[in-house]
Structure 1
Amino acid sequence: MKKQKWEGVKKSFDNIELTSSLLKAGTFHEEEWMNEKGSIFTKLKGMFQKNKQDEAAIPYIDSNELSAEEEELDFECQPYFYAEPKSLEDLKVQFLNQLFPFQLKWASSTLTEKSIVKKAFYYDEALKYYLQRFPDTYLVLYKPVFILQNAPIELDTIIITPTGVWCITLLEAEDSAVFVGSNEKFWTKKKDDKEKKILSPLITINKTEKVVKKILEKYEIDFPVKKAILTRNGYIDYPMAPHHLTIIEKRNYDDWLKIMRHNHSPLKAIQLKTAEKLLYHCLTTCMRRYEWDIKEE
């Protein structure tokens, strides 16, 4: 669906660009251009849902306010241009930002149940990063809460790819900040002449890796598990880093992202089985759809 919608939007955009070039070359009359442009944008408006607010503002969708019929229609992606895109990159950004709320809606809905997503997730830049920058064959557990020995525990982000599982902890701070790693409970964040103690990211990333491996062993699933500390805009100074820990920072981030994005493997059975077993041990807060109770009665 995503690919089909994108191809349609891109085709319309390309038609506008072509018409604009013909106009500049003098082979297209202005009246024809206005008619053509109006026709194309009319088609685009049928595919997009207008948002007159600032582009950074993503509307909160409360599924409880929709009837069953409206809810099914709401799953149809109908993004709308905030403003006329100046380039193909602008078009991509607008398309992905419009799609984002629908991704959260799909992730929180099943045939018989639905969950109310916290409004903060619609503005969570880290979550948007994981959903927009990686292939759609990657399955993301974002800040999952696992039930272990009858107690809830929140872990780091888990990305289940067709070739293995990545446990990732994200370090975000000022641009070009330096994180000095150690095997102690605290790390040091340095920026200019200032230093600050932060809790070691190894604590949660090791815990996440341990939980994932334990669950996979329980179900005899042989699937590689990797763990990484990621900072997109800073540096990590950790000479004594464990050999099985991947450090991703400003100097090698582009190379790592390129490798991750160029994984064209399709969804695999073992990947789906891994996701199923991990989700089985996760805490889910949901409600049964009212229309199903009506049918049963």
Structure 2
Amino acid sequence: MAQLIKLQDYISRYQLDLTRYPTQYVRLKRTQWEKVKQQWLSGGEPMAWEHFGEEEEQPKRFSILKRWFAKKRSIQDDMENVDGFQHPISDTEEHGDGPDLSFEPKIIHRPSNLEELKRMFLDQLFQFQIRWASSTLLEQSNVDPRFYRDSFLKTVLQRLPDNYFVFYYPVIKVKNAPIELDVILLSPTECLCITLVEAEEDAFYVGDGERFWTKKIGKRDVKILNPLLQLNRMEMIVNQLFKHHQVEIPIRKILLSRNGYFDRSMSHFNVQYVDKRGYSSWFLHLKYSPSPIKKNQFEAAQAILNSVETAAYPRGIRNGQKSEEQPESGS
């Protein structure tokens, strides 16, 4: 699974130590998967491990078991094999005192096969990743529930390997003004800036103007803001951050519509159009990135993290509000 480095303006543990947490996340995932798999192979009862993190209270988990059993299908071709990792680690690589946020899978019904077990495990790991990317030992952020239902976020995290770093709609400070970008994928070899264009199923997009495009839905035409404006702005900001921190990594711009189509006559410099016709093959190409995590990938991620906005509050304060017993800072 790809690593969710920054989600919107939520606090991220990767901001605290970018070199530590990617390794720690991979180790945590691997350890818990081996526990789940071995207990299942040995014929044990449904698995539930005791909490071993620093939190005393767990956020309420989303109930997704019903969906697991409604979708019995093979995951060999569309999901990372959790047995293998693109970035092997040794015992000496991880420093610190072990995981400081728990991931304990709750398998309450015995799956019929290993693929079903993987699906259960990875679906729960997705929920955990959002918590991992919105909290630290001392702080946490309020997560919009829509991210737990975001199909593209889930697809990216579950189907891309560990050597991908994901920035999902990060908020960047530009001249003291917050600007929300779209999706940034950092692979070991390049940076992908992705703007999603998704609305009605099978919508057809025509780039017939510099500021506005036409979206065709059946016989109806609707004017929409040119999505290249947002994509180009994102690429410009990311490029400036890389130059400022002397990071050398190629940037590629992707305009993506998983459920619609782009006019094939459209052509813009350094922009790749990916629509419903070519989405599967494009994503499959991303999935098989054999390179390990590289130094310039860490440098690129750190360059972005150095400029992100963060909205968080101390643990123990509900919804970011101080309790009556909590004194104001400076009093």
Deviation at 1:263, TM superposition (A): 0.5
Q: Is 1:140 equivalent to 2:166 in the alignment? A: yes
Distance in 2 (alpha carbons) for counterparts of 1:10 and 1:172: 37
Q: State the SS of the aligned residue for 2:240.
A: helix
Larger radius of gyration: 1
**What is the identity, as a one-letter code, of the residue corresponding to 1:191?**
I
Q: Is 1:41 equivalent to 2:45 in the alignment? A: yes
Output one character per residue of 1:110-137: Cα deviation in whole Å (capped at 9) or x when no partner.
3444333333322323322222221122
Q: State the SS of the aligned residue for 2:45.
A: helix
Distance in 2 (alpha carbons) for counterparts of 1:149 and 1:46: 47
**Aligned counterpart, 2:124:** 98
**Aligned counterpart, 2:208:** 182
Distance in 1 (alpha carbons) for counterparts of 2:111 and 2:205: 38
Q: Is 1:280 equivalent to 2:309 in the alignment? A: no
**Aligned counterpart, 1:9:** 36
Q: State the SS of the aligned residue for 1:41.
A: coil
Percent identity between matched residues is 40
**Aligned counterpart, 1:237:** 263
Compared CA separation, residues 52 and 255, structure 1 to 2 (3 A)? closer
In 2, are the aligned partners of 1:187 and 1:199 still within 8 Å (CA)? Answer: yes
**TM-score, normalised by the number of residues in structure 1:** 0.74
**What is the identity, as a one-letter code, of the residue corresponding to 1:223?**
I
Pick which of 202-211 and 131-140 moved more.
131-140
**What is the identity, as a one-letter code, of the residue corresponding to 1:154?**
E
Distance in 1 (alpha carbons) for counterparts of 2:214 and 2:110: 45
**Aligned counterpart, 2:251:** 225
Report 1:1-297 matches (<5 A): 1-13=28-40, 37=43, 40-42=44-46, 44-46=47-49, 53-55=63-65, 75-81=101-107, 83-288=109-314
Higher relative contact order (Cα pairs below 8 Å, separated by 6+ residues): 2
Distance in 2 (alpha carbons) for counterparts of 1:243 and 1:13: 52
The unaligned stretches of length 5 or more in structure 2 are 1-27, 52-57, 68-97, 317-331
**Aligned counterpart, 2:95:** none
Output one character per residue of 1:2-36: Cα deviation in whole Å (capped at 9) or x when no partner.
23333443444456xxxxxxxxxxxxxxxxxxxxx
**Aligned counterpart, 2:87:** none
Deviation at 1:167, TM superposition (A): 0.5
Compared CA separation, residues 90 and 180, structure 1 to 2 (3 A)? farther
The unaligned stretches of length 5 or more in structure 1 are 16-36, 58-71, 291-297
Distance in 2 (alpha carbons) for counterparts of 1:139 and 1:178: 31
Compared CA separation, residues 87 and 112, structure 1 to 2 (3 A)? same
Q: State the SS of the aligned residue for 1:187.
A: strand
**What is the identity, as a one-letter code, of the residue corresponding to 2:305?**
L
In 2, are the aligned partners of 1:226 and 1:245 still within 8 Å (CA)? Answer: yes
Deviation at 1:287, TM superposition (A): 3.2
In 1, are the aligned partners of 2:192 and 2:251 still within 8 Å (CA)? Answer: yes
Distance in 1 (alpha carbons) for counterparts of 2:184 and 2:105: 28
**What is the identity, as a one-letter code, of the residue corresponding to 2:291?**
S
**What is the identity, as a one-letter code, of the residue corresponding to 2:128?**
F
Compared CA separation, residues 172 and 92, structure 1 to 2 (3 A)? farther
Pick which of 174-183 and 98-107 moved more.
174-183
Aligned length: 252
**What is the identity, as a one-letter code, of the residue corresponding to 2:36?**
V
